């Protein structure tokens, strides 16, 4: 995990908000039908609606978070779902506690 990429990913307000929203998906995305937040995650369309940004911008933001190992993606048919990557978040916590 590249520390610079992680902190670059977190340096954007909306990307940071997305991570916060994904921490409590049931609370932040109550309109998602057939929600399996634990196993699959939140549909990119729901994240886009909440953020109020274009689909391409949200997709790019989620891609940046995924490359930083902070979220993981699951494809279900034509839809992509995202959830927090617990292992990546734990690694980030260790980096902060041990190196900063």
pTM of the model: 0.90
**Structure confidence at residue 63 (pLDDT):** 96
Domain of 23 in residue numbering reads as: 3-99
The domain tally of the chain equals 1
Reported as a single tens digit per residue, the pLDDT across 47-68 is: 999 999 999 999 999 999 999 9
Max CA-CA distance within the chain? Answer: 42
**Tell me, what CATH number does 47's domain have?**
1.10.10.10
Counting as low any pLDDT under 70, the low residues of the chain are 1
CB-CB contact of 8 with 50 (8 Å): no
């Amino acid at each position: 995990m590249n520390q610079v990429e992680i902190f670059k990913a977190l340096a954007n307000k909306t990307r940071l908000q997305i991570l916060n929203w994904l921490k409590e998906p049931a609370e932040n995305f109550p309109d998602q039908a057939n929600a399996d937040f634990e196993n699959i995650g939140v549909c990119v369309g729901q994240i886009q609606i909440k953020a109020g940004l274009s689909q391409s911008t949200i997709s790019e933001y989620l891609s940046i978070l995924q490359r930083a190992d902070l979220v993981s993606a699951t494809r279900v048919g034509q839809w992509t779902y995202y959830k927090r990557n617990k292992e990546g978040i734990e690694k980030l916590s260790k980096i902060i506690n041990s190196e900063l």
